[in-house]
Amino acid sequence: MSNPNLFGATPTTPITPPVGATVSISGVPIPTDIPGPEEAARLKAEFEAALKELALTLSGHVSTADGQWAVKGFIDAFRNVYTISSDTKIVSKILEIHLFPQILAFAEKYGYAVVLAEHQNYYPDISFVLKADKNVKFAVDFKTTYRNPLKPWLCNGFTLGSHGEYFQKRTSTKNIQFPYGTYLGHFCLGIIYDRAEGATIDETKSTPVEELHSITSVISNIQFFVVEKWKIASDKAGSGNTANIGSIKRIECIISGNGSFSKLGESWFDEYWMNVGKITIPDPKKTGATKKITTLEEFITYRGGDLSLIVPRSNLE
């Protein structure tokens, strides 16, 4: 006899759970008032293709002909220009503001409403909600980082959001604009750039606006990309004291979405980051001792998965 499905019926019996209910797949509660798997996959593919097309145009909106960032600083009422800092947080925020007209035009073109994060620590930066069906939502986070000047094939990496409560409890509304499980896809709109050498930037002086051309931009060679966040995730935290997911650092692998989980699939990414640091296993280095799972290799072994599907860390850094 066929095994029962999630709702206690055989696979040949069509079941429609009530709208607004939740079901659990691999321990992850999923709201049922979102499109079915095939429709969701189609909508996600269309959204990703459109967002990637947008990304191809963005450099022209923010860069000069010689590849420098078009933003030179900020101007006061007396027409003096002050160079901005190369601090990554400042650069990231100004880039977001600089790009916003294109984001709004994109949303309008494809029939989406733009919902910004209500608080600074909320995920994601932007929620795209289809105007014709508010159950169709996509999460997009701006992710910016700089190239390693000594190893230009590497970047400094990104943090890809928390693996805390809203990630583990997909119906939670803590620190997230809409429950994680209601988004059909989670994307990064990524930005990788070169930082200007410190000797070429003087943050202590102002420049008359008439001499704007003489100011060296704090960043240049700006590259945009779009990728689902799980495809560029590593198995290491993105920051020391917070529950943030870290990214890989090899630029070509980031652009192509070839991260640690890329061959395993999104479900392995979800399960690993829900359970990392929680599951106890015997410590192979200390007889009789135990340890918490902290690597993807340990987790795949514990779950009985295929270790050959892990993208080697040596290929990513």
Distance (Å, whole) CA 201 – CA 249:
27
Q: Which residues contact 265 (CB under 8 A, 6 or more apart)?
A: none
141 given a catalytic annotation: yes
Out of 143, 229, 231, 249, pick the active-site residue: 143
- Does 76 qualify as catalytic in the annotation? no
Q: Please identify which of the residues 44, 72, 141, 270 carries the catalytic annotation.
A: 141
Output the CA torsion 96→80→197→102 (10° steps): 20
d(CA 295, CA 277): 9
CA 145 vs. chain centroid, Å, equals 12
Active site residue 249: no
**Residue from 125, 194, 235, 270 carrying the catalytic annotation:** 125
Closest among 305, 224, 241, 242 to 269, alpha carbons compared: 305
Backbone torsion region of residue 61, taken as left when φ is above 0, otherwise alpha when ψ lies between -120 and 50, otherwise beta: alpha
Give yes or no for a contact between 292 and 277, defined as CB atoms under 8 angstroms apart: yes
Give helix 37-62 / helix 88-110 axis angle, nearest 10°: 120
Mind telling me the catalytic residues? 125, 141, 143
